[in-house]
Amino acid sequence: MKVTVFGATGPTGLWICNLALAAGHNVTAVSRRPDPLLLPSSERISITVADAITGTGVDKAVTGADAVLSALGAPYGPREINIYSQGTDTIIGAMRKQSAGNRLVVVSSGLTYPPPHTNFVADFAIFPLLRNVIGRTLYQDMRRMEEELQKNKDIAWTIMRPGRLINSPRVSDYHLDVGHPSFAYTARADLAAAMVDELDRTDNIHTPVAPSTNRHGAQK
């Protein structure tokens, strides 16, 4: 399968590229400022410069692709964030324009729509602080992205809602749930593995799924 990876040189994107190659796929690695030294060395990977906000290079990046995996993201901050909603909209527009395959997997967060009840401290202190103060603009944009995706029935999208992202040296026996993660943390390796695994699945199309990592089985 020909797979285009946006955000390919980020910490999750690098995992996606490596795992997609290991699974036998051909990869187009997309970044605004790609560094070939960061990416895996393989005859089955090509590098494309593109910007999902401005749209520059995005048509070329998705041309001939069977599927698109987007690891686009942004850190917490007070500024307005639109990389999730606008970036995904740009990618979908290019997929349609170039008659690319319609499989799309994007990254959101387990906090975009948190579970109705976890525990008192999380429900009334931690989650409100993260969603409404520290990460307000980020989670607002993730919700915009998810709401817009719901309208695109011709795109076979799957939304990933990981827990708090951590580093791990390997892929674990991660959990994958519908809606909300079982555990508070998700290793980037496991998030990437879940995204690559979706290329061979059809049961999670038009569904938000939540990969998470049991930290007893993963090294932080």
**pLDDT tens digits along 178-194:** 999 999 899 999 999 99
Instruction: Give me the percent of the chain exceeding a pLDDT of 70.
Output: 91
The pLDDT, as a whole number, for residue 220 is 43
Only one residue has tokens 């993201």, namely 73
Domain ranges in the chain are 2-217
The Cβ of residue 214 has, within 10 Å, a number of other Cβ atoms equal to 15
**pLDDT tens digits along 48-103:** 999 999 999 999 999 999 999 999 999 988 899 999 999 999 999 999 999 999 99
Q: Does domain 2-217 have CATH number 3.40.50.720?
A: yes
Using a CB cutoff of 8 Å and minimum separation of 24, what contacts does 216-220 make? 217/172, 217/173, 218/166, 218/168, 218/170, 218/172, 218/185, 218/187, 218/189, 218/190, 219/168, 219/169, 219/170, 220/166, 220/167, 220/168
